[in-house]
Amino acid sequence: MIALAVARENASPLVRAPRADDGPSVWRLIDSTPSLDRNSLYCNLLQCSHFAQTCAIAELNGEVVGWLSGYVPPGRDDTLFVWQVCVGRKARGQGVAKALIGEVLGRDASRGIRYLECTITEDNAASWALFGSVARAMGAQIQRSELFSRDTHFDGTHDSEMGVTIGPFERGQIAGLKA
């Protein structure tokens, strides 16, 4: 758990692992972010409970202002896959997303993680900027390749998602992500 000092008066988001009772707040945060796919509340409850070890919340004055969902893909114990990362408008541009990633990677349970993966649509400039910045902060390589294509995997209903891999990195390199 880390406290993140930000520029606004009395504003110091707490970054922590989620609890099951955070599910509805997480669902509402994602619902209020038009660029993100909504999942069911049940999905968010599972993320906040079964997958709490690889998810994180940023909380400001009792309000959930940031969320990261992730998991270790089965059979790939050295990889953290970031499913969604979301920061509410009023908390953006203050390092909250980077701190959410740093918090999960810094946990004891993440000791074996050497690669960070995610997918990003071509037009999501903020997301490319975030993960580019994460790679730079860790001094790690970043590679991209098309993973899920609009026609083959989304039946034409969703933009293609590029697969992004950052790593390999050692544990010491995540220090650059700390607030």
Binding residues vs ligand COA (CB under 6 A): 33, 35-36, 84-87, 92-98, 124-127, 129-130, 133
Opening angle at CA 176, ends 76 and 113, nearest 5:
10
60/85 with CB nearer ligand COA: 85
30 close to 86: Cβ distance less than 8 angstroms = yes
133/160 with CB nearer ligand COA: 133
Q: Cβ of residue 69: shortest distance to ligand COA, in angstroms?
A: 9
CA distances (Å), 78 to each of 90, 169, 171, in order? 34, 10, 12
The type of residue at 151 is D
Tokens at 51, concatenated? 């997958």
Q: Cβ of residue 129: shortest distance to ligand COA, in angstroms?
A: 3
Q: Cβ of residue 17: shortest distance to ligand COA, in angstroms?
A: 18
DSSP state at residue 134: H
> Please, which residues bridge with residue 71 across strands?
81
75/83 with CB nearer ligand COA: 83
17/81 with CB nearer ligand COA: 81
Q: Cβ of residue 179: shortest distance to ligand COA, in angstroms?
A: 9
113/177 with CB nearer ligand COA: 177
Q: How far apart are CA 38 and CA 103, in angstroms?
A: 24
Half-sphere exposure for 43 (CA within 13 Å, toward CB): 11
